[in-house]
Amino acid sequence: MLSWIPALALAADGPLAMDPRVETLDNGLTVILLEDHRTDTIALHLAYGVGARDEADVERGSAHLFEHLMFEGSANVPTNAFDEWLTAAGGDNNAYTSEDVTAYHMEFPSGALELALFLESDRMGFLEAGLVQDNLENQQKVVLQERAEGYAEPNGRDWDALGRISWPADHPYHHPVIGTVADIEAFSLPAVRGFWEAHYRSRNAVLALVGNFETEEALERVEHWFSDVPDRGEPVERDNSPLPGGVRDHHGMLFDDVEERTLYVVWETVPLGHADEPALDLLSQLLSGGRGTRLDDQLYYEHQRTSDVGMFTLNNDRAGQILLYASSPKTPLAKVYKLALKQIQGLIKDPPTAEEVARARRAHRGWLLDALEQPDRKAEILVDCFRWTQEADCLVPRWARYEAVTPADVLRVAQTYLIEQQPNTLSVVPRGDDGAMDGAQLVELP
Amino acid sequence: MMWFATGLGIVAGAAELVVIERVLPEYPEEDAEIECMVTLRVTPEGVPSAAAVEGCDEPHAAAAEEAALQWRFQPFELDGGEPEAVFQTPMFDLAPLRTVPPEVVPPSPLQLPEPEIYTLRPGVEVWHVRVPSVRKVAVHVVMREGLVELVGMPNQAARATGWMVDVAAGEYSAPELSLIEDLHEIELWSRIGLHDGSVSLVVPREDLELGLQLQRTVLREPTFPKKDLKRYLRDQQLFYTVNAPSSQARVAGYALAHAWFPADHPYGARPNLAELKGIKPRTLSDLYELWLSSVPLTLVVVGDLPFEEIRAPLEAMVEDLGVDRPPASALEVPLPPPRVLAVDMPGQSQVAIRLRTPAPPRGHEDSVAMRAIQWVLGGHFLSRLNRVLREERGYTYGSGASYRSGPTWGSLTFSVDVGSENLAETVTVIQEQIDAILEAGVEAEELESARRSFVQDWNTTRQTASQAARLYLAALEEGVSIETKRDRREAMGSLAAEDVIRVAQEWMGPDAPRVWVFVGDRAKMEPELAELGLEAEWIDPNRAVLGNF
């Protein structure tokens, strides 16, 4: 089959260069513009540098709460009008909150650009009008319900439990992004307003527009709408003090309304931008990137010891993880663990090949190129690039780092971060089942 | 003219001032470009005590002063020994624009081309669509008949056949095929539906030749390895007996589907676990040979390339295939009886609520109005249901409505998950919202909003080859032109409230059967259902998934 294998060096990086226009308004807002005239739509992505990691103990859940409150009206946009007006224009929007960032995104017909900028600038500059008790109380209910619906699904609590077992209590990633029931019920209007004032500042935001517009004209309209957003100064400095190390060799468990057992194995790795990030990404893809990769074949395709298996990296601003999961209705999770670890340790005897690395790399490149065909994903990439590197057009150098990874690099990171470290595990098993890892301790989720 | 933030904000007396109420001056509209700079003195209680205006003349200065004095700030602590804080702000050339939302230029649906249609030979057509600037090429070999034509009553063997074509083929074992696909970013997959199926390829333009070679092998020489069949069958067994019954959403979905289509109708065929045990690779290869040799084929090719570039490999791919006759027709489906199903999942705090009503078949003259009803009731964040259930009452994270249709049937399904204690009120809201449509239809603004949303959706179809291909595959399946599909989106704009009322009465009125499904803890649901006067048939999750009720 060797004749089918392509030369490993892929074509020049032309398709990954985006060449956007980047400007900073006087109020500190970073604006990134990139034309894409293939369709008559525009994607807007706006990220604030605030996530669950920025919350004080009494503010837990606040970053995510804003993902709701930002739609409840601002000085010139009545309650519910944000969605109503944007939808009436043919647009759509949503938001997400992570440990590190809160992002708001829209896609709309190009004839609605003015409206979109008006809505987004009004809530950036003048949200106080919507931060009222009625809106807060209603969104508290909605967030509690969001949490309850998520927890009611099979394996719906796993993610929060993983945070608790992986990071010590004083680590910024220990707490669930959505907050606990007590956190959510404790929100008060003064605290919520204080959180907005501290973090929702123009200097803490990056805005990208990608789509059917002329750059000069669009920039003028962005300035028009965002220039009266008050400059409330530099954002509150984020806590970048040394972190407590991650937990090691802890084995937790949950009983859940599930019929299958699921095992998670988590190793602490590196934060975003670390030199080893590309090799770790390729390692996870190489081990579990579908049929013909080591873990997937041994646990699922060839030997069917599990019903599901996967592995991925989670690189946050301040810390990272590599995470393996596998499910089985009958196999004890200690056995699943042993089988999975055997594949990882087997990398020493049977090191990654050039072909395996090429395969993993191609998957990563395909993912990037696919994303660049879609304005909404491209806008998100531009914003994330800027957040991480202060350069919106970061894919070419980023890809060069992936190109430079050798099989020896992949083996080295496997040894450093996986083989030589004791991972944590989470066993999730049906109620009353005895298939969890030996000695696993029940995880309490408040 | 544009305002920048320079000079805006605190001048003295406080570290920070937070505006909590901001009143804009009423300048004459033609003077929107006027700029006045206002300096406010603000007491620690957050109330302005005086305002000075510079940079503009009357009447604008007076208007700016009057507005500025109505501003309110969060109470604050003075610093620097000042008696009051001093705050400066422009007043405000943009103000007239912010008081009303900007005008929107309504979107128009893009003119997407009709496919160029080539007949390679009787029984084999190609739809070729050139989409500029897309990176990949999509090639779908569509079998114009599916499970129903193949076996009459869809069974597990026929389903497995359609889904396993892409696993291994010719000289390529499954791992080898997978490796080549991954190294060249080639996606190859197969599927089978009730009346059609496909072997599909999406490949970067530069690897098209290789992709087509693989697709040809997969289409013509699938090998159905024993080990993979065993895995597939085990996965099916596991899904129906373990994974699906543990999820409220999946249980609700299966219960609704099985209640809607009768068990003895091909569209309602139930999962047959006993049958899973006896399926051999030979069964699949025989079925596949029968399927491939007996159906008309249509190839749908979407990408940035001329047809001539792909004609020869396509001809080689389908050599000797394709039967020259029209595809079989869809089957009529009887309406189900009204039903209330409740599935007991002890210990659950939430209840999954689903309601299904009849709706027009695909392409029916009433389908445009039904699409509008779906949109207005449950198609977006501020749909009527979300407005009440989420925004007013906070009962749910989100509710929705979906309109599905085939050539002979259609259904409108409402979905919402709420805490069990809110079941009765939620059902009442759903009924009230349906009644409101039956009585008063929808507002003109809602229809225009729906039209624009569907146009926007249409206008994004050219972003990738895969997106564009989906549109053309839908047109092929439906047997309509692209122009017809485009016109339907526009037609929403010319509907009247009376049209909507008539269609709602026709399909969702008092005489139309309704199927309710509730999935949750029986002990918590029973009092709520009793309050509603609904008598439910109780079943367990496994029976719900398998349609054994």
Tell me the pLDDT tens digit for each residue of B263-308: 999 999 999 999 998 899 999 999 999 999 999 999 999 999 999 9
In angstroms, how far is CA B439 from the centroid of its own chain?
Answer: 27
- Does B92 touch chain A if contact means CB atoms closer than 8 Å? yes
What DSSP element (H or E) covers B371?
helix B367-378
A6 closest CB neighbour out of B102, B184, B235: B184
Q: Does B390 touch chain A (CB under 8 A)?
A: yes
Closest Cβ opposite residue A259 in set B94, B242, B348: B242
In Å, how far is A24's CA from the nearest CA of chain B?
11
Between B133, B227, B246, which is nearest A257 by CB? B246
Q: Out of 3.40.800.20, 3.30.830.10, 3.40.50.300, 1.10.260.40, which CATH number does the structure's domain A21-226 have?
A: 3.30.830.10
Note whether A149 contacts B417, CB cutoff 8 Å: yes
Using the beta-carbon criterion (under 8 Å), do A290 and B132 form an inter-chain contact? no
Identity of the amino acid at A348: I
Judge whether residue A140 has pLDDT over 70: yes
What pLDDT is recorded for position B73?
80
Instruction: Look at the block and give the residue holding tokens 């001056």.
Output: B25
Number of other CB atoms surrounding residue B19 within 10 Å:
21
Q: Give the torsion sign (CA, A426, A428, A431, A436).
A: negative
Q: Do B5 and A25 make contact, defined as CB atoms within 8 angstroms?
A: yes
The answer to whether B166 and B284 have CB atoms below 8 angstroms apart is no
As a whole number of angstroms, the longest Cα–Cα distance in chain A is 68
Of residues B383, B366, B374, B404, the one with CA closest to residue B499? B366
Q: Provide the token pair at A19.
A: 């060449």
Which among A39, A137, A145 has the least Cβ separation from residue B397? A145
Looking at the complex, report in whole angstroms how far the Cα of residue A270 sits from the nearest Cα belonging to chain B.
27
Report DSSP letters for A290-312, one per residue: STTSHHIIIIIITT--SSEEEEE
With an 8 Å Cβ cutoff, are A87 and B381 in contact? yes
pLDDT computed for residue B29 by the predictor = 56
The residue extents of the domains of chain B are: 9-98, 116-317, 339-546
Strand partners, B515: B339, B356
Contacts of B94 in chain A (CB under 8 A): 224-225, 228
Which candidate, B178, A183, A391, places its Cα nearest to that of A174? A183
CATH 3.30.830.10 in chain A, residue ranges:
21-226, 251-442
- Which candidate from A87, A202, A260 shows the least CB-CB separation from B242? A260
Tens-place pLDDT, residues A177-217: 999 999 999 999 999 999 999 999 999 999 999 999 999 99
B215, two tokens: 């697709």
Mean pLDDT of B193-198: 97
Amino acid residing at A446: P
Mean pLDDT of chain B: 91
CB pairs under 8 A between A and B: 256
**Interface ipTM above 0.90:** yes
Residues of A in contact with B11 (CB under 8 A): none
Tell me the pLDDT tens digit for each residue of B329-387. Answer: 999 999 999 999 999 999 999 999 999 999 999 999 999 999 999 999 999 999 999 99
Residues 128-147 of B with CB under 8 A from A: 132-135
Coil/strand/helix, residue B53: strand
Report how far residue A94's alpha carbon sits from residue A70's, in angstroms, rounded to the nearest whole number: 11
Contact list in A for residue B72 (CB cut-off 8 A) is none
Q: What is the pLDDT of residues A254-287, one digit of tens each?
A: 999 999 999 999 999 999 999 999 999 999 999 9
What pLDDT does residue A158 have? 97
Query: Contact B179/A292, CB-based, under 8 Å?
Result: yes
Starting from the edge strand earliest in sequence, which strands make up the sheet with B48-54, in order? B9-12, B85-91, B36-42, B48-54
Q: Nearest Cα to B268, choosing from B321, B216, B333?
A: B333
Using pLDDT thresholds of 50, 70 and 90, give the confidence band for residue B310. Answer: very high
Chain B residue with Cα closest to A362: B183
Q: Give SS3 for B384.
A: helix
* A140 to B2: CB separation less than 8 angstroms, yes or no: no
- Of residues A25, A146, A292, nearest to B178 (C-beta): A292
As a CATH number, domain A251-442 is: 3.30.830.10
pLDDT per residue over A384-433, tens digit each?
Answer: 999 999 999 999 999 999 999 999 999 999 999 999 999 999 999 999 99
Could you tell me if B39 and B54 are in contact, meaning their C-beta atoms sit under 8 angstroms apart? yes
The number of residues making up chain B comes to: 549
Give the pLDDT band (50/70/90) at residue B408.
very high
- Nearest by CB to B135, which of A87, A139, A373? A373
Partner-chain contact A149 B397, CB within 8 Å: yes
Q: Which CATH superfamily is domain B116-317 in?
A: Metalloenzyme, LuxS/M16 peptidase-like (3.30.830.10)
Q: Is B32 on the interface with A (CB under 8 A)?
A: no
Phi, psi angles (nearest 5°) of residue A73: 115, 155
Judged by CB atoms closer than 8 Å, whether chains meet at A228 and B396 is answered as no
3-state class (DSSP) for residue B401: strand
Check whether domain B339-546 has CATH 3.40.50.720, yes or no: no
> Which one, of A37, A53, A134, lies nearest residue B392 by Cα?
A134
Q: Note the pLDDT of residue A127.
A: 94
CA B446 to chain centre: 18
Residue with tokens 């998934």: B545
Cβ of B184 and A141 within 8 Å?
no
* CA B30 – CA B14 distance, rounded (Å): 37
Structure tokens at A224: 């028009």
Instruction: Count CA atoms within 13 Å of residue A249 on its CB side.
Output: 4
Confidence label for B11 from pLDDT (cuts 50, 70 and 90): low
Residue B7 has pLDDT above 50, yes or no: no
Q: What distance in Å separates the CA atoms of residue B148 and residue A342, rounded to the nearest whole number?
A: 46
- CA dist., res. A116 & res. A43, Å (int): 10
Contact residues, chain A, for B234 at CB < 8 Å: 304, 307
Say yes or no for a CB contact (<8 Å) between A83 and B381.
yes
**For chain B, how far is it from start to end, CA to CA, in angstroms?**
70
User: Quick check: do B116-317 and B339-546 share a fold?
Assistant: yes
Per-residue pLDDT at A12: 47
Q: Which residues of chain A have a CB within 8 Å of the CB of B247?
A: 153-154
Q: Which chain A residue has its CA at the smallest distance from B239's CA?
A: A307
CB contact under 8 A, A114 and B179: no
CATH of domain B9-98: 3.30.2420
Residue ranges of alpha helices (H) inside A49-132 are 62-69, 81-88, 113-125
Query: A140 and B445: CB-CB below 8 Å?
Result: no
**3-state SS assignment for residue B3:** coil
Please name the member of A11, A76, A89 whose beta carbon is closest to the beta carbon of B99. Answer: A76
In this complex, do A260 and B21 lie within 8 Å of one another by their Cβ atoms? no
Classify residue A394 by its DSSP letter: -
**Which positions in chain B touch A260 (Cβ < 8 Å)?**
238, 242-243, 246
Neighbours of A262 (CB within 10 A): 23
